[in-house]
Structure 1
């Protein structure tokens, strides 16, 4: 009778190789999510229109995009037979919904009635630092001083760009944009906690489905009473399917794989992606200084991505 084979030892360095593949995957998923989110600003501007030529009401865009994505999520969860959320996760689902379903969309929809997409892009550029700070407080993640230096430097570049373009002037809509940033940061951290235990696709889908009892009636209540052009409805369709749903498939998976503090720095590129995309979508002009700042931020993101972060012992992700 043949002797049983001895168990084969794992090749040396296989754990390191796996970690490197996971790091690369988290980075590319983060970039994919950021690209989809970058279109949110020009598409929301297209949906709501400027003050002089208003299109869809901001409150309808906020509730309607969440309700539409919630109905898509309901179908998705039924098809994949996803288990119901656990009771201990309900607080995180609520925080995620308040931040990403209500706070961020409402803030940018109200602000983009008053300011161009390019202005909104540079102000919301502080979102990565807000997300990293929120992660440090909530998840008790620790980072090296070099990581924080890169985060602060990247956000300083974004704010310097905003001052350069706006000649140091802030407008009332910036308050709504800052509200949107803080809301999104809290929602991202809650979503990252959930995505560490549940598939990211199910997390955002359950967030949207659990929000339906509120978002669907509000969408019907604020349904536009005046006609809007085709471009406005195209913008609304985009923010419903991609900004509110599919973008989070990639983004929450990236946060769960790569760490909230580290992957959040990829979002430093989002304002510059939004600036570039606003040119074909809205016809807004772009300056050479924008590309210069974009390259500088990209360099900071690459450096920050290589610096270590770790989570405090005994803390649930």
Structure 2
């Protein structure tokens, strides 16, 4: 992969120009994968330090990305593309996993999931500021309505109704901001590189940091290799970081960052259901009511321009 022919120009055209319906379907699949990320992370922190989770969540998929790119004979991105890939990589490969792991040491996955409900709105904000998308007032109305429903649910959910914000809440909000920025940068590069290549090159861009950090972590850390912690770490490294982002970036590139990003409004409800199933959190009828309302608001956001 060398020479002028191996460099992708910014004007390159990929097959990500399909119908917005295809983008919505890809985005929905990505959200389904992402919805188990917080429960998997809660499993991982039972046996691994948050720093170790961050390092191995970047290193393992980064090595896998090298193999994927080699098999795809993927051209090397140009210098301008590398900047976006590096910034997006720091957000999705360092900022989000580290901050969310720290958050999950003090708050449960259900509460973290509701805070993650801010992600579609933050993604739309970053898309407006950086991606030059201009959603309509009705779009923003649907977005705000969804956020109000999610925040109201947070305040009424048993065990998570405190009005004050703790360190875990703030860390989760910062993680959500990192994820939103990474989505916008990744989707922009996916229009040029394609979803899988965009995510793979993002992970490769982190290898100069993740490889030495992985070596140091392996020498100084004393992890607890339980079944739950191991499964959680592997899910984060493979499903959340590779498979989910493949579909998600491709969906954002095809259907529009702000519009497809609204599909993620249903992710908190899915995560709460996973939390109830695997962590014995209470799941009452209100969860399903909120899920239906949020899903309807997502549908409205998809239909307005």
User: What TM-score results when the alignment is normalised by the length of structure 1?
Assistant: 0.87
**Structure 2: which 5+ residue stretches go unaligned?**
1-16
Of 245, 251, 258, 2:248 maps to 251
CA RMSD of aligned residues (A): 1.3
Of 194, 219, 223, 2:189 maps to 194
Computing the radius of gyration over CA atoms, which structure comes out larger, 1 or 2? Answer: 1
Deviation at 1:222, TM superposition (A): 2.4
> Matched residues in 2 for 1:216 and 1:269: separation?
35
Deviation at 1:94, TM superposition (A): 1.6
Of 5, 20, 25, 2:22 maps to 25
Deviations 1:116-136 (A, max 9, x none): 111100111101000000000
Instruction: Identify the residue that residue 220 of structure 1 maps to in structure 2.
Output: 215
Deviations 1:59-88 (A, max 9, x none): 111110110000110000000100011112
Deviations 1:41-69 (A, max 9, x none): 000001102xxxxx211111111011000
> Matched residues in 2 for 1:226 and 1:142: separation?
47
Of 95, 99, 102, 1:103 maps to 95
Instruction: Identify the residue that residue 234 of structure 1 maps to in structure 2.
Output: 231
1:266 to 2:266 alignment:
no
> Matched residues in 2 for 1:109 and 1:217: separation?
21
**Structure 1: which 5+ residue stretches go unaligned?**
1-18, 50-54, 309-317
Deviation at 1:286, TM superposition (A): 1.4
Q: Which moved more, 1:213-222 or 1:154-163?
A: 213-222
> Matched residues in 1 for 2:180 and 2:270: separation?
19
> Matched residues in 1 for 2:284 and 2:51: separation?
32
Instruction: Identify the residue that residue 206 of structure 2 maps to in structure 1.
Output: 211
User: What TM-score results when the alignment is normalised by the length of structure 2?
Assistant: 0.90
Deviation at 1:98, TM superposition (A): 1.6
Deviation at 1:226, TM superposition (A): 4.0
Q: Do 2:90 and 2:206's aligned partners in 1 also have CA atoms closer than 8 Å?
A: no
Deviations 1:212-249 (A, max 9, x none): 11112222322331433111000000000011111111
